[in-house]
Amino acid sequence: MALCDADLIGKKFEEGKKQLDLRENFYKGRRVNEEEAVNILRMQALEDATFNIVGEKSVEAAIKAGILTKKGIAKIRGTPFALVLA
């Protein structure tokens, strides 16, 4: 499952050898509010799921859903992201 802040879609961030390429064809989908995102994340976590999460709002929703802790967050050019296997 991919979750990304809407304002970041289509952008590319690079820092040394690390890169976040937030392509529309991967991240663009249904827009949801924070409550919906938290509920979807919780439901997906019940299954074997992989989460690709990018952006302040999306990371915060994942923390609220209980699938991510602050220790699991990395940043590229100040943009937070996480990969989670549930």
The per-residue pLDDT for range 12-64, each reduced to its tens digit, is 999 999 999 999 999 999 999 999 999 999 999 998 789 999 999 999 999 99
Q: Domain residues for 42?
A: 2-85
Report the distance separating Cα 17 and Cα 35, nearest Å: 35
Residue with tokens 């929703």: 61
Residue 48 confidence (pLDDT): 79
Residue 25 confidence (pLDDT): 94
Q: At residue 79, does pLDDT exceed 80?
A: yes
The amino acid sitting at 77 is: R
Look at strands 74-76 and 12-15 and give their pairing.
Answer: unpaired
Q: At residue 86, does pLDDT exceed 80?
A: no
Whether the pTM exceeds 0.75: the reply is yes
Burial of residue 81 (CB within 10 Å: 0-12, 13-18, 19+) is buried
Residue 55 confidence (pLDDT): 98
| Tally of domains within the chain | 1
CATH number at residue 26: 3.30.1860.10
- Tokens found for residue 34: 């924070």
